[in-house]
Structure 1
Amino acid sequence: MSEDKGRSAGEEIQVSLDHEWEKRNWMQWLGCTEQELQHAVESIGPDPDNVRRFLRQAR
């Protein structure tokens, strides 16, 4: 059973910049600034693994 009751089994987690709390959570998890996160998502899309790789390569 899924830990997150708000998501269906087939729904993938995506980086969302829609809400401040979501941005804060992603910035903390990825260890980046808001500007870095915004640039990464605009450049390569909202897949968390791709965003993490992009940020790692940018440093």
Structure 2
Amino acid sequence: MNEKIDPNNLVEGEDYYLTPEGYRCFTEKYHLKRGYCCKSGCRHCPYGFDKKTGEIKKK
């Protein structure tokens, strides 16, 4: 599933939600659909990236 994701076709509540501060927070489903880890320390990263160590810990 490594297709290009069109940012205009994201579904709120499925691909992301808005935080109380107004930021877009991507869901685990979105990350899996994207197909790779961006190594930004995302809140819902399904790949197990640890921002402190800089390593991806396989689950």
Alignment TM class, shorter chain as reference: under 0.3
- TM-score calculated relative to the size of structure 2: 0.27
- TM-score calculated relative to the size of structure 1: 0.27
Question: Bigger relative contact order, structure 1 or 2, given CA contacts below 8 A and separation 6+?
Answer: 1
